[in-house]
Amino acid sequence: MAEITFDGVTKIFGDDVRAVDDLSLHVADGEFMVLVGPSGCGKTTALRMLAGLEDITSGALSIGGTVVNNVLPKDRDVAMVFQNYALYPHMSVAQNMGFALKIRGESKAEIAKKVGDAAAILRLTEYLDRRPKALSGGQRQRVAMGRAIVRSPQAFLMDEPLSNLDAQLRVEMRLEIARIQRLLGVATVYVTHDQIEAMTMGDRVAVMRGGKLQQCDTPQDLYDHPKNDFVAGFMGSPPMNLLRVGLDSTDGDLAVVLGAQRLVIPASYATSHALPRVDGPGVVFGVRPEDVEVLDGPSADALTTRVERREALGAEILVHLSMVDADGENAIVVNDAGAVVARPMRLVAKMGPRSGVSVGDHLSVRLNPDHFHFFDADSGVSLRKTK
């Protein structure tokens, strides 16, 4: 078991495709680190560099304190679980699991014992003589895990191992993998594009975009204090409402301008955040759907909205709201250059399953003032001064 360190690691494909750009990340011994991001963000490339399946263009990558840039995959002592499981089709489950040990030259008795122990952990004992094609998706996934476990490696590397499973099995295997990882206490780097997997499994989550690390934090810190508007929009389902707005202080209070409506910002934000001047370029204002509260009637700090769409998910309803002007028309976003963007200001709110809202209803909503987020209008960086 060991810690893993990416120190300014860069990977350039061809002449100019920067798949991973100056990645610095530390995975502690026994930690479950999730790399998450959209397709093409470089998370899989980072994992493959760690496995030794891709060369490193620059930077240093170390496992257990040893720089492994030029170490062959077989000598890195890491085990990898692939997206398509990559089970050897001509071998039985037991042979698949014991293959690495056989290559290492361990005795048959030793291999049988380790395979048996791993199979017991993974509840695979009764399938040891079967070929992979005779197994279900979940069982194959467990065999792939077993192949990693029996080696007792320094680190587990997992490349979207649940993406081929159906939704229910994915939830089960999510718990199973997290359980096994905690049981074995081996440093794990887990790649996924599913932010729910990232939030539920990782001790820490590293969010990547365009080859760059955006933020690495505990799941709750990522959710509560995103460092930029990308992380804010990526983590959470449905994502955070992000509105590009102007600031106003004509009535003495600092407020964001939402079409013809004003939303007063509590005074504490002026000290905790580096908000721009009111005649500046504005900000990106963020609020989570669960912080949009529907009121029974009009209120001084409420916004008037209209229901544009409702999505019933069973346990909750997602209501898509548009900001409404005094004349009942949708408010529209005005950008810096003064050009009108023909897109109504939209908010998504989470409501209870029995909420009787319908498309076209006018609703008064209150945004929870304790959980406002402000990001720079140009760079998208959070304006929060301290975490």
Partner 1 sequence: MTALETNTEPRREPPSIKKPRRVGRWILFAVMMVVAVVMLYPFWVMIITSLKSEPQFLSGGGFSWLSWSGLTSVIPIGQELLSSTIVCSSSILIILCVGLPAGFAFSKLRFRMSTVVFLVIVSAMMVPLQAILMPEFVNVTRLHLTGGYAGAVLVYAALGTPFSVFLFTTYFRGVPDELIEAGIVDGLGYFGAMWRLVLPIAVPAIATVTVLQFIQIWDDLLVGLLFIQNTSERPITVGLAVLAAGRTTSIPALMAGSLISAFPAMVVYLGFQRYLVKGLTMGIDR
Name the site residues for partner 1 (rule: CB under 8 A).
Answer: 51-53, 73-74, 78-80, 82-84, 86-90, 99-100, 103-104, 133, 147, 151
CB of 367 within 8 A of CB of 243? no
| Shortest spacing between CB 311 and partner 1, in angstroms | 33
| Shortest spacing between CB 91 and partner 1, in angstroms | 8
| Shortest spacing between CB 90 and partner 1, in angstroms | 4
Nearer to partner 1, 72 or 339 (CB): 72
Spatial CA neighbour of 36 closest among 44, 24, 25: 44
Nearer to partner 1, 90 or 354 (CB): 90
CB of 159 within 8 A of CB of 82? yes
307: left (phi over 0), alpha (psi -120 to 50) or beta: beta
Nearer to partner 1, 106 or 221 (CB): 106
| Shortest spacing between CB 249 and partner 1, in angstroms | 58
Nearer to partner 1, 80 or 287 (CB): 80
Q: Which two tokens stand for residue 145?
A: 């895990």
CB of 228 within 8 A of CB of 378? no
Rounded to the nearest 10 degrees, the angle between the axes of helix 167-184 and helix 108-122 is 130
Nearer to partner 1, 160 or 291 (CB): 160
Nearer to partner 1, 54 or 221 (CB): 54
Nearer to partner 1, 107 or 268 (CB): 107
| Shortest spacing between CB 133 and partner 1, in angstroms | 6
How many residues are given for the chain? 387
Nearer to partner 1, 107 or 249 (CB): 107
| Shortest spacing between CB 285 and partner 1, in angstroms | 44
Calculate the CA 65 to chain-centre distance: 28
Distance CA 35, CA 47 (A): 9
CB of 144 within 8 A of CB of 85? yes
| Shortest spacing between CB 86 and partner 1, in angstroms | 4
With residue 104 as reference, give the H or E element that holds it: helix 93-104
Distance CA 32, CA 187 (A): 6
Q: Residue 257 pairs with which residues in a beta bridge?
A: 246, 262
Distance CA 241, CA 249 (A): 23
| Shortest spacing between CB 85 and partner 1, in angstroms | 8
Calculate the CA 196 to chain-centre distance: 7
- HSE, CB side, 13 Å, CA atoms: give it for residue 271: 3
Nearer to partner 1, 103 or 339 (CB): 103
Spatial CA neighbour of 265 closest among 285, 239, 280: 285
| Shortest spacing between CB 143 and partner 1, in angstroms | 12
